[in-house]
Amino acid sequence: MLGKNIHSLFRGMRVSDFFFLGVLFANLLLVTYLGIGNYQNGIKVATSQDNGEEIVAWFGNLASKLEANEPIHPEACKPTDEENKFAKDIKVNQWKNCVEALFAAKGPFESYTNLLKPNGPAYSSKCNKHELLTSGSFIFEKLTINPAGAPSLSPLEPSEKIVSGLQIRLSLCDTGYYLIKIGEFKL
pLDDT at 119: 93
Distance CA 77, CA 73 (A): 8
Q: What is the mean pLDDT of the chain?
A: 87
Query: How does residue 146 score in pLDDT terms, banded at 50, 70 and 90?
Result: confident
Mean pLDDT within 8-28: 85
- Tens of pLDDT along 88-143? 666 788 899 999 999 998 889 999 999 999 999 999 999 989 999 999 999 999 98
Q: Which contiguous run of DSSP H or E holds residue 138?
A: strand 138-144
- Tens of pLDDT along 50-83? 999 999 999 988 888 888 888 888 888 888 876 5
Q: Is 118 helix (H, G, I), strand (E, B) or coil?
A: coil
* CA distance readout (Å), 148 to 131, 144, 145, 165, 185: 34, 12, 9, 19, 21
pLDDT at 23: 95
Neighbouring residues of 111: CB distance < 8 A, sequence distance ≥ 6: none
Chain centroid to Cα 127, Å, comes to 9
User: Model-level pTM?
Assistant: 0.81
DSSP H helices in the chain: 2-11, 15-67, 95-103
CB 127 within 8 A of CB 134: yes
